[in-house]
Amino acid sequence: MGASEASMAYANPLGVLTGVHYLDGDHSAAEGACAAGCRFFAGYPITPSTEVAERVALRFPLIGGQFIQMEDELASIAAVLGASWGGLKSMTVTSGPGFSLMMENIGLGVMMEVPCVIVDVQRGGPSTGLPTLPAQADMMQARWGSHGDYEIIALSPNSPQECFDLTIEAFNLSERWRLPVLIMTDECIGHMTEKVVIPPADRIELVERRFTKETPDKYLPYKPCEDLVPELAPLGKGYRFHTTGLTHDERGYPVMTAEMQEINVHRLVDKIRKNADKIVHVEKKNLDDADIVVVSYGISSRVAIPAVEKARSEGLKVGELRLIIVWPFPEKEIRSLAGKVKAFVVPEINYGQMVYEVERCAAGKCRTMLVPHGGGWVHDPETIYRAIREAAK
């Protein structure tokens, strides 16, 4: 099998509410799903993500989609995987406790290579924590939460507009790389209402599902193309394929050996690692002559803005690197900046998660300073400002 170039299609106008809207992040993510061609949604109510499900329940019967409220999050993610195999773009949404429950089948999605999207509207934890208040404390769970070795893709919108835009990007990435893609938003973004511009359908490009062109007798469900991604087969068309969560060969048949583990799992990891340059998505601001770089994502990137502006107005050379895609982590960007700057300042609503990735890639070449927040609210920009001043010393 050669290189299978992802082909593109335009959005179906039926699902696209073209125009200027005043939406919260949760509703905007739901509109992003409608526009992206998502036509199956299975979910379970959990604050602060429920509004996504509510909006989908309202919209789907009008656009040819199916919404089902499942009995729990275990069932929700399982149904999403099944529906995706059935040929529908599929999504679920949850928050901390539900995200924990979904972990096993996110691993199944990785192993079976199922395109789908999972939105985690983060709230304070551990356990039931702070159901109605924000946090960014599931970032490492997003990366490592399911057992075993794997790579994942996770995005982090910082506005209702990005909840729309990045939901479409998440679906495109999931189809392109054949894996579950996570959208790591938070209560603050989810419940923040802002202007959201939804473009015309013919301005929204979607990645087509990669169905094989091989005939059933030649098709191998897990034979990778050059980009390490195998092609899907439609159901009921004579392919009669098998897929399993067990370690498997190119036929999809279980093979329980160290050799097959190496072939199977190494490819799953390499599929993302070796293609990371094509996936990484960051926003850069004032990096050219920066001494200090604020590395942030999601709501914290917005809270950092007044802190950066104040420091710059006082003559400090502060740049910003915003992670729009948090996983895979933009290692190259951090490594190259580390040799040039004095310090990274990392504000996040947890006691240290993404900061360890920054520190790892900085590799001692510059300081890395965490600006922690336990959750329940966002940082006071003043704390970030003080950290920038401290870093400049």
Partner 1 sequence: MTVTERQSCQTPAEPEHPKSLLLRMDRMPHIWCSRCGIGIALGCFAAALERAGLSPDDITVTSGIGCTGRAAGYVKVDSFHTTHGRAIPFAVGLTMARPDLKHVVFSGDGDLISIGGNHFIHAARRNQNLLVICVNNFTYAMTGGQLAPTTPVNARATTAPYGSFERPFNLPYLAASAGASYVARWTSLHIRRVTDSITEALQREGFRFIEIIAPCSTIYARRNKLGDGLDLMKYYYESAVIDHEARLQDLDIGFQSRIVVGKFVDEERPSYVRSMNEHFGKVLGGKYVRPVTGDVAGSSGAGGAK
Q: Which stretches of the chain bind partner 1, using CB under 8 A?
A: 9-12, 14-15, 34, 36-40, 42, 61-66, 68, 70-72, 74-76, 78-90, 104-105, 108, 175, 206-209, 234-246, 251, 253-254
At closest approach, how far in Å is the CB of 64 from partner 1? Answer: 3
Of 4 and 383, CB closest to partner 1: 4
Of 149 and 309, CB closest to partner 1: 149
Angle (CA) 178-72-74 rounded to 5° is 40
At closest approach, how far in Å is the CB of 146 from partner 1? Answer: 11
Nearest to 371 by CA among 357, 343, 389, 351: 351
Output DSSP code: residue 200. P
CA atoms of 139 and 348, how far apart (whole Å): 10
Of 11 and 343, CB closest to partner 1: 11
At closest approach, how far in Å is the CB of 174 from partner 1? Answer: 11
* Number of other CB atoms surrounding residue 333 within 10 Å: 18
Location of structure tokens 């709230």 = 123
311 contacts 388 by C-beta, under 8 angstroms: yes
Distances in Å between the Cα of 196 and the Cα atoms of 19, 174, 214, 286 are: 8, 23, 42, 26
At closest approach, how far in Å is the CB of 102 from partner 1? Answer: 11
CA atoms of 258 and 371, how far apart (whole Å): 43
At closest approach, how far in Å is the CB of 156 from partner 1? Answer: 24
Of 78 and 370, CB closest to partner 1: 78
* Number of other CB atoms surrounding residue 34 within 10 Å: 27
At closest approach, how far in Å is the CB of 305 from partner 1? Answer: 36
Of 123 and 176, CB closest to partner 1: 176
Nearest to 352 by CA among 372, 330, 376: 372
Token pair belonging to 306: 């007044």
Of 197 and 246, CB closest to partner 1: 246
